[in-house]
């Protein structure tokens, strides 16, 4: 939808250019600056994309000022309370909640794509035992592009659908196998009678020598965490998937690039960094000292799990996860969990501190998720892979949306060049 024009004046020659406004259904409109270069001879400059809409999208809406997140129009808190991760996957991919038959067909499709090709399983042996699971995930998912030549016609909606089903289905198997590799245990295959989160827990924690019963409280908590991490519009990893995909690259390779982008501590790697930070702080008495460090511009220490590019209010996901922390810790008899107490105290003091108040820095999705993962027995280096499992549907939905757009072009930004002006080559003997 395009409505009125936006006028930009050029003080150098008093000229002005009218640029069309691009309205969505909700939120801030964009200015279509594509004509600016031809009309005014300038580019827009926005290095970290703080003011740039890279696309139109129907999938997810965030109102950062009011702490609202919606998938396809449904508030995330309603989905966390009433839905399941697989139903949310269907919603994100297809735009509507499924009826009972559609849900059953979708569940069947995902369940029957969970196994890994045995040749792919051999790749794990090439990784050193202490390889970070995110490194393994990046490599294994990229390698999927060498296996599925039958479904890589990216313009074919059926191929795109099978790719999305395969990716969502195989991610828990791939991540659990990375964990098993790191602890030297045999890999445990999927079981079709279990639901998505329960199946993942079994693949992580079952051993061939013993029976394994999935704890339904653990499976439910994990399912909710997966829902809350499923999509977040044009975040760094999703934008990376879109950028790689815009070249026409194999979709498995595009997802692999998204996993690499997710790994960094400013993005999905923050959940691992939060737990390490809480352990480093160690005791409630140390909180004021670490808050001072976080505020000191000469100190690289940052309060991990705090702040967000879009949310200038509570991250709605953090609120829900904090609530689940109480429930899960109580279930495991860990009410006096030291790290949770520390996190609550850190949040309390930070939210009274002018530095954090003025900058609108609140706990984000990663601040509390690690407390739950840890209570479920998931090791710290698996926290970011948990995020990757959940976000796979978001990446697949955005890639598919982009591919279905007939106007899709390669994403190729420009730059302001700041290097040498023209100079002549100098022979090596004269330098």
Q: For the CB of residue 321, give the shortest distance to ligand ACO in the complex, in Å.
A: 12
Q: For the CB of residue 22, give the shortest distance to ligand ACO in the complex, in Å.
A: 23
Query: Which of 232, 308, 315, 398 is the catalytic position?
Result: 308
Q: For the CB of residue 232, give the shortest distance to ligand ACO in the complex, in Å.
A: 7
267 is catalytic: no
Number of residues counted as binding ligand ACO (CB under 6 A): 18
**Direct distance between the N- and C-terminal alpha carbons of the chain, in angstroms, rounded to an integer:** 58
Q: For the CB of residue 72, give the shortest distance to ligand ACO in the complex, in Å.
A: 20
What is the footprint of ligand ACO within residues 279-338 (CB under 6 A)? Answer: 294, 302-309
What are 281's two structure tokens?
A: 């702080």
What are 323's two structure tokens?
A: 């609530």
Gap between the Cα atoms of 355 and 378, Å rounded: 34
What is the footprint of ligand ACO within residues 153-192 (CB under 6 A)? Answer: none
Which of 139/363 has CB closer to ligand ACO? 363
Q: For the CB of residue 142, give the shortest distance to ligand ACO in the complex, in Å.
A: 22
Chain-centroid distance, C-alpha 283: 30
Task: Choose one: 2-10, 98-106, 360-368, 406-414; the region binding ligand ACO (CB under 6 A).
Answer: 360-368
Which of 136/270 has CB closer to ligand ACO? 270
Q: For the CB of residue 305, give the shortest distance to ligand ACO in the complex, in Å.
A: 5
Per DSSP, 306 falls in state B
What are 350's two structure tokens?
A: 């930070």
Which of 173/238 has CB closer to ligand ACO? 238
159 is catalytic: no
> How many residues comprise the chain?
431
What are 12's two structure tokens?
A: 């150098």
3-state helix, strand, coil in the chain (%, to 5): 55, 5, 40
Which of 294/378 has CB closer to ligand ACO? 294
Gap between the Cα atoms of 164 and 113, Å rounded: 10
Which of 19/278 has CB closer to ligand ACO? 278
Please give the full DSSP string across 165-183, using - where no structure is assigned. HHHHHHHHHHHHHHHHHHH
Among 197, 244, 287, 365, binds ligand ACO (CB under 6 A): 365
Please give the full DSSP string across 330-359, using - where no structure is assigned. HHTT-TT-HHHHHHHHHHHHHTTSHHHHHT
Asked if 144 interacts with ligand ACO (CB under 6 A), we say: no
For residues 354, 356, 360, 364, the Cα torsion angle rounded to the nearest 10 degrees is -160
| SS3 (DSSP) at 9 | strand
Cα dihedral sign, 324-328-334-339? negative
Which of 188/262 has CB closer to ligand ACO? 262
The mark string for 246-285 relative to ligand ACO (x by CB under 6 A, - otherwise) is: --------------------xxx-x---------------
Closest CB to ligand ACO: residue number = 307
Asked if 359 interacts with ligand ACO (CB under 6 A), we say: yes
Interface contacts to ligand ACO, rule CB under 6 A: 266-268, 270, 294, 302-309, 359, 361, 364-366
């Amino acid at each position: 939808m395009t409505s009125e024009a936006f006028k930009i004046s050029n003080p150098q020659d008093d000229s002005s250019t009218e640029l069309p406004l691009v309205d969505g259904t909700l939120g801030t409109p964009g200015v279509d600056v594509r004509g600016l270069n031809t009309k005014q001879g300038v580019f827009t400059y926005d290095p970290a994309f703080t003011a740039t809409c890279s696309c139109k999208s129907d999938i997810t809406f965030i109102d950062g000022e009011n702490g609202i997140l919606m998938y396809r129009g449904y508030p995330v808190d309603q989905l966390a309370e009433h839905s399941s991760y697989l139903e949310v996957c269907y919603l994100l991919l297809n735009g509507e909640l499924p009826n009972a038959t559609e849900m059953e067909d979708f569940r069947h499709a995902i369940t029957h794509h969970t196994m890994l090709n045995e040749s792919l399983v051999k790749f794990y042996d090439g990784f050193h035992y202490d390889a970070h699971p995110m490194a393994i995930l990046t490599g294994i998912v990229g390698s999927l592009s060498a296996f599925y030549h039958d479904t890589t016609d990216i313009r074919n909606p059926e191929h795109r659908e099978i790719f999305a089903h395969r990716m969502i289905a195989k991610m828990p198997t791939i991540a659990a196998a990375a964990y098993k590799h790191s602890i030297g245990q045999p890999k445990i295959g999927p079981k079709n009678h279990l639901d998505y989160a329960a199946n993942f827990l079994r693949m992580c924690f079952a051993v061939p020598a013993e029976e394994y019963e999935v704890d339904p409280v653990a499976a439910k908590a994990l399912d909710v965490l997966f829902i809350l991490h499923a999509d977040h519009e044009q975040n760094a990893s999703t934008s990376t998937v879109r950028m790689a995909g815009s070249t026409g690259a194999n979709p498995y390779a595009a997802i692999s690039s998204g996993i690499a982008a997710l790994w960094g501590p400013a993005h999905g790697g923050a959940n691992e960094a939060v737990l390490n930070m809480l352990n480093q702080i160690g005791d409630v008495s140390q909180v004021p000292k670490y808050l001072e460090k976080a505020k000191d511009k000469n100190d690289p220490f940052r309060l991990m799990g705090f702040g967000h590019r879009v949310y200038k209010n509570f991250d709605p996901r953090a609120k829900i996860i904090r609530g689940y922390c109480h429930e899960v810790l109580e279930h495991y008899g860990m009410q006096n969990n030291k790290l949770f107490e520390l996190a609550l105290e850190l949040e309390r003091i930070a939210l009274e501190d002018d530095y954090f108040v003025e900058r609108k820095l609140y706990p984000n999705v990663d601040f509390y998720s690690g407390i739950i993962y840890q209570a479920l027995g998931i090791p710290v280096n698996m926290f970011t892979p948990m995020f990757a499992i959940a976000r796979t549907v978001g990446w697949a939905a955005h890639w598919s949306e982009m591919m279905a757009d007939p106007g899709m072009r390669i994403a190729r930004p420009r730059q302001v060049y700041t290097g040498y002006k023209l100079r002549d080559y100098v022979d090596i003997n004269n330098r």
